[in-house]
Structure formats: structure tokens, C-alpha cells
Structure 1
Amino acid sequence: MLAVDTMKKLSFSKFIADGDLVIVYERHDTMKAVNVSDGSVFQNRFGVFKHSEWIGKPFGSKVYSSKGGYVYLLFPTPELWTLVLSHRTQILYIADISFVIMCLELVPGCLVLESGTGSGSLTTSLARAVAPTGHVHTFDFHEQRAASAGEDFERTGVNSVVTVGVRDIQGLGFPDEFVGRADAVFLDLPQPWLAIPSAANALKPDAILCSFSPCIEQVQRSCETLTKKFTDIRTFEVLLRTYEVREVKTNTVPGHGDISPMRLPRKRRQTTDGDIEQDEPHAAVVMAKPSGEARGHTGYLTFARLKCFV
């Protein structure tokens, strides 16, 4: 019964209901997470939006304000949640997250151990990867941070497959109840090499560990410890370059170079004096250019596979 309930909570609901979490989308870099509440309103630069008018609409709907402005109401996927969540700590973004999930070989049913929880950006995606029959046990030494993350997991509906614990994994290691049970371990710690021996005890033979570190000195120290019980040790730096796609007006037609204004169509309109004016000619061209706010280095991802000792 638990698996059925879990799948229901993580499944895509087509219509917005009172109490649902929605992502209010203005543009790709302007979004906000909002809990729908009948009788409440959402206000931004486009006007005032009544929550009551959102209820019953399908996710993805375009809704209008009292001023005629509009936003889109999107389902809170892990990808969108990563872009709107509160940053209690440095977070992992989509490029790193997708790479981690693939290299950890996560599938539904896996048991994953994570330390530390931080803002919960990665945890939400881990939960979706292992649902409905798997589970993520995430630990953070900071009690208030762990509590805030737990509240976020309830908002996004993944709390049924995520358990948040308060524990100093660097000093105490993972709880003994996980010895030999974990399919994967993820470490985001200042001194990950202190937690690696405990992670090795928790992992199943041939299972994979991933450690995220912002500095190469942390990577080197971790790799020295990993060589004792792990093999296939590799470190990656994921760099993502984003391009903005937009339509611009120009006197250049793609494939034809500069076109004489006399050869381009002109729009005609009548002035208040009765004379006929012609607009300057232009062609609409879709162009892509690198984003001016592209993220650079986030951190290093080190993966290692636990040796099978016979």
C-alpha cells in the first residue's frame, strides 16, 4: 500500500487543486513557488492574480491578471524546484544533478544515503529517481537546516520516499542500520575523506559513491582515502554553456546577406493628414547567442566503485 501511495504523491496531477504547490513562471529566470489557497492572491509586476481562478485549471495554463498581464502555472518538477528553492547553502544545479543520477546508476527501488542535505536541491531529484519503491536517507548536522529541508520535501510531495536525519556524518559516520544495504552514497561535506570509511561499510559490493567538492585539494585528499577500498576512481567538472534564443529585426536575410531596403516589403499606413507612409523594411530573424549570465565552475564530482572482496 505504501508503494501505491508514494506513486500517487509523485505522479503528475493534471489539474490544480486548493493547497497545491505551483511554479508561477514569468520567464526562464523569473519564477516563484506558490501554494494555492482559495481566497488568496498573487501579485507581481503584471498585476493581481486570484488563486480561486487557478483552481481546476490544468498545469501549464496561461492565466491573466486584473490588468491583463499573464503568467504560466507549472508543475513543481525537481528541475523547476531547483531554480526556485531557498538557498540555505550552495546548491547543485541541473547539469551536475543529472550527471550524478546517471553515474550513480539509480533506478526505482534503490536505497540512497546522502550527507549533507543542505537546501535539498539534489535530494528531490534523487527521490524521483528511486521512487516509488526506493528510499533516500539524507543527513545534515545542522538541525534547523534539516527541519527546513523536511518542510520543503512535504511541499514538493517527496517526503514519502525521503527521511531527513540530524547527524554529524564526518564525526559519527552513517548509522549501523545501513551497513551493507546502500545502493549509492552521495557526500557533500567539507572533509569527505572522514566519511568515506563509513560510506564503504554502508555500500553493497560494487556499489558507487559520489563526492562533491568545490576545491581540487579536497578531491586529492578524498582520492587518497578512496584508493584503500574503492576502484574506478574518476573526477569530473561539468561546465554548462547556455544560449539565449530570441527574434530580432534586421535588414539582413539569412542566406542572402544584406538586402537593399527597396527589395524588402514595406508596411503602409495612413497618417492623420491623409498622407501614406511606409515603415522602414525589416526581416525577423531568430538568433542564438551565449547567455551573459552563464554559470562557470560549481564543483568537482568524484565517483568510485566499492571493491568486491572475496
Structure 2
Amino acid sequence: MSLVEYSEVVQEGDVVIVFLGHDAMMPVHVRSGAQTQTRYGAIRHSSDLIGRRFGSKVTCSKGGWVYVLHPTPELWTLNLPHRTQILYSTDIATITLMLDLKPGAVVCESGTGSGSLSHAILRTIAPTGHLHTVEFHTERAQKAREEFVRHRVGHLVTVRNQDVCRQGFGVEGVADAVFLDIPSPWEAIQHAKAAIKRQGGRVCSFSPCIEQVQQTCEALVASGLQELLTLEVLLRVHDVRSVTLPLPDFGPEDDQHTHTHTHTQPAPGNAVVTVKTATPPREMAGHTGYLTFATKVRE
């Protein structure tokens, strides 16, 4: 199993996503002889998981059942252990698009945090790209290294435990894109510019406050980066449901008049029709942060 390559069957050492129903999921590290307790009873790794095909329905010890899913970056984002606040798929999809990430790309990231965006980047740049990610916090950096190895993407990523604002990313002139998610991104703009290749590289900064965005934009302009753009991405999910409507009665046809009837009456027998309609939610998730993008032109 790898988060960037699909496998058919579960093997020892894999990380699988156990789907419990009603959007309830949990990650499980598969180990021979181990057990995992769920609301439906125990899952025995040796007999219930190892050798099973991903997507299989597994019966627990109490008779209930769960599905065993192959991990993806999207599922990992929903199930990862939170060491910091994380980015979710709505912002991640926009970042991947606007930074023009593709297989073989070299990306610099700071900070690593809980690794939500890191896994999505790795899936996009595999199998020949590389991620250089910087985390200031020593324990979080070590946890990220361990997760990348456990998810079998360690060969695609280098984790550095350092202050990106003072020490940079550890590489220069090679990155196709740089992503910043730190409290003062304007202090790392020069390091980001130095890490990017000679032309065409892109920079993205995520900040929750508009004051951070203003300072970052000033630093981007001062460093010579161009094509500045700031976005706020809001997810608005519509509810599709069936609605029953009465059929109108336009009256008998009148061949002697060309005018159109403007008044309608309900059809005889209270005839109705059922149609599908989509309605926006009364409440929705609000602001998460601002995404600011810029481009490095030829030096």
C-alpha cells in the first residue's frame, strides 16, 4: 500500500481506512496478531484484514460489519491525527490547480504541520517529483517523517526541521512551486524566491487574516514577483430533493385569438407533477483563509 499507488490487497504494515458508516471512519495500522476495537466489535488484523481486497466488507466480532478502504490523500485529510490546524480538500484542490502541480514537479512547503497538504502534493507529483517540506517544531517534524515512511512515500519527500524565515528551504533554484502556511509569510518570501527555478515558478501563501495578506503582498511586490492574486474559497453544497407542484390549467384552446392566457387555474382533479430541485443550505461553513498567489518571471 502507498498513498500514491493503488494496491489490490491489504498487507502487513499497511495503513487502511475503516469505514464505520454515517461518515464515521478511522485509520488502522495493520499488524499481524493485533486487534482494533470498533462499535461493532473487534477487527482481527491477521484474519480480517491481511490478504483481503481493499473495498471488502469485514464482519466484526459482535456481528456488525465495516468496509476496509484504500487510503487516499482525501481520506487521510479526514482521518489524520491533528497536530495543527489543517487544510481541507476545498483549499487543497485550488492550491494544486493554481500552482500547476503535476508529475515530476519539485515543490517546497512550510510548515508541514499535520501533513494534510503534503500528502496531496505527493500524490500529484509522484512518481518522479520531490517535496521539500520544512517544519519549525521538532516533534512535529519527526512525526511527519514517520508518517511518510509508514505511508511508503518517504522516497518522495525531504523533511527539514528548521526556521524557514531564517534558514530557507535548504534548496535553491530548483522548485516549480512554493507553498507557505506560517504566521509571518512575508519574512520567507526572499527564501521562496531563491528556491524557485529561474522563471515560471509559482508561490502560494495561506493566511487567515487580511492584515497578513497585505504584508505578504507588499513583500511579494518588493521581491519582484508578479501576477498577484488573492482568493477566498467557500464551499456551498446544494441539497437536491423532490418537490411536488400542481399542474396549471391554461383553459381551452382558442383559435380565434392570438393572445396568450396570463391567468392559470389548477388542473382538474388536482393533477400534480414531481420535479427535482436544488436548494442552497441555510447555513454553511464560512471563512477559512486567504490564498495569495504570485509568479516569478525571468531574472
TM range (shorter): 0.7 to 0.9
Letter in 1 for 2:172: V
Residue 291 of structure 1 deviates from its aligned partner by: 7.2
Is structure 2 residue 286 aligned with structure 1 residue 296? Answer: yes
Matches for 1:94-105 after TM superposition, within 5 Å: 94-105=89-100
**Which residue of the partner structure matches residue 203 of structure 1?**
196
**Which residue of the partner structure matches residue 173 of structure 1?**
168
How many angstroms apart in 2 are the aligned matches of 1:128 and 1:162? 11
Flag the 1:256–1:150 CA change in 2: closer, same or farther, 3 A. farther
**Alignment TM-score, normalising by the size of structure 1:** 0.80
Flag the 1:64–1:256 CA change in 2: closer, same or farther, 3 A. farther
What CA deviation, in whole Å up to 9, does each residue of 1:19-72 have, x standing for no partner?
A: 211001113531111011222222121122222222211111111112221111
Matches for 1:42-57 after TM superposition, within 5 Å: 42-51=36-45, 52-57=47-52
What CA deviation, in whole Å up to 9, does each residue of 1:124-147 have, x standing for no partner?
A: 111111111110010011111100
Letter in 1 for 2:183: P
Is structure 2 residue 126 aligned with structure 1 residue 131? Answer: yes
Flag the 1:291–1:153 CA change in 2: closer, same or farther, 3 A. farther
Which ranges in structure 2 are unaligned for 5 or more consecutive residues? 248-274
How many angstroms apart in 2 are the aligned matches of 1:147 and 1:244? 42
Q: What's the RMSD between the two structures over aligned residues?
A: 2.5
Extract structure 1 runs of 4+ deviating beyond 6 A: 285-293
How many angstroms apart in 2 are the aligned matches of 1:308 and 1:28? 51
**Which residue of the partner structure matches residue 234 of structure 1?**
229
Give the conservation status (yes or no) of the 8 Å contact 1:127–1:136: yes
What CA deviation, in whole Å up to 9, does each residue of 1:219-248 have, x standing for no partner?
A: 0100011112111100111111345779xx
**Which residue of the partner structure matches residue 140 of structure 2?**
145
**Which residue of the partner structure matches residue 272 of structure 2?**
none
Flag the 1:19–1:301 CA change in 2: closer, same or farther, 3 A. same
Q: Secondary structure at the match of 1:145?
A: helix
**Which residue of the partner structure matches residue 11 of structure 2?**
17
Letter in 1 for 2:104: G
**Which residue of the partner structure matches residue 88 of structure 1?**
83
Letter in 2 for 1:304: A
Q: Secondary structure at the match of 2:10?
A: coil
Letter in 2 for 1:43: Q
Give the conservation status (yes or no) of the 8 Å contact 2:10–2:53: yes
**Which residue of the partner structure matches residue 281 of structure 1?**
none
Residue 202 of structure 1 deviates from its aligned partner by: 1.4
Letter in 1 for 2:220: L
Give the conservation status (yes or no) of the 8 Å contact 2:13–2:150: no
Identity of aligned residues (%): 52
**Which residue of the partner structure matches residue 278 of structure 1?**
none
Larger proportion of strand: 1
Give the conservation status (yes or no) of the 8 Å contact 2:243–2:277: no
What CA deviation, in whole Å up to 9, does each residue of 1:267-302 have, x standing for no partner?
A: xxxxxxxxxxxxxxxxxx999877798532211110
Give the conservation status (yes or no) of the 8 Å contact 1:59–1:75: yes
**Which residue of the partner structure matches residue 182 of structure 1?**
175
Letter in 2 for 1:217: E
Give the conservation status (yes or no) of the 8 Å contact 1:111–1:134: yes
How many angstroms apart in 2 are the aligned matches of 1:76 and 1:293? 30
Aligned residues between the structures: 269
Flag the 1:43–1:138 CA change in 2: closer, same or farther, 3 A. same
Letter in 2 for 1:298: T
**Which residue of the partner structure matches residue 64 of structure 2?**
69
**Which residue of the partner structure matches residue 28 of structure 2?**
34
**Which residue of the partner structure matches residue 73 of structure 2?**
78
Letter in 1 for 2:75: L
Is structure 2 residue 184 aligned with structure 1 residue 191? Answer: yes
Residue 161 of structure 1 deviates from its aligned partner by: 0.2
**Which residue of the partner structure matches residue 269 of structure 1?**
none
Flag the 1:14–1:119 CA change in 2: closer, same or farther, 3 A. same
Give the conservation status (yes or no) of the 8 Å contact 1:113–1:184: yes
**Which residue of the partner structure matches residue 109 of structure 1?**
104
Give the conservation status (yes or no) of the 8 Å contact 1:60–1:75: yes
Matches for 1:259-274 after TM superposition, within 5 Å: none
